[in-house]
Amino acid sequence: MKRGAPMKRTGFKRKSGSPFSSLANRGTALRRAAMKRRMHKPTVEEGALYLAACRGEPCYLLIPGVCRLDPHDKTVVPCHSNLLEHGGGMGLKAHHQFTFPGCDVCHFWLDQSRIPTKQQRRAATHAALARWRPVRARKMAAVEGAQ
Ligand SMILES: [Zn+2]
């Protein structure tokens, strides 16, 4: 038997474009593993989903007079809350749950500059989390729904 064309392989193609989509399958396996355990402690891998959700997002800190307010800012990274109530401030990085996308200048203003007062730092962190959480929830629900 002669084949006209080599068999084409399909079914292994991953939808490209969203770096977030590649985490979906990993997420399923992790959730199954987590369900086996009685106590559900957040794992490092689950934390990674919170971090991954920050990708491709604009800045959520939006510090007035500091932020570039660029919706396509390429400097945005997941910023960890350093607030005590979020587990930060003691030399420990706050849990990944308390992360939000922030651009480099806002991140610097918050974490390294001496500009903000304790109250301003706290307010900025809470504002960023309040803005980010509903967006992240929708994003993470969409990943689960895609399975
Ligand atoms: Zn910013």
> What is the DSSP annotation of 19-45?
TTGGGHHHHHHHHHHHHHSSS-PPPHH
**Burial class for 124, CB neighbours closer than 10 Å (0-12, 13-18, 19+):** buried
pLDDT of residue 131: 98
Distance 5 CA to ligand 1 centre (A): 53
Distance 103 CA to ligand 1 centre (A): 4
Domain containing residue 45: 21-145
128 belongs to a structural domain: yes
120 belongs to a structural domain: yes
pLDDT of residue 91: 61
10 belongs to a structural domain: no
Q: Which residues of the chain have pLDDT under 50?
A: 37-38
What is the number of structural domains in the chain? 1
**24, 146 contact by CB (below 8 A):** yes
4 belongs to a structural domain: no
Distance 37 CA to ligand 1 centre (A): 39
**98, 86 contact by CB (below 8 A):** yes
How far apart, in Å, are the Cα atoms of 110 and each of 77, 119, 121, 135, 147?
A: 13, 11, 6, 21, 37
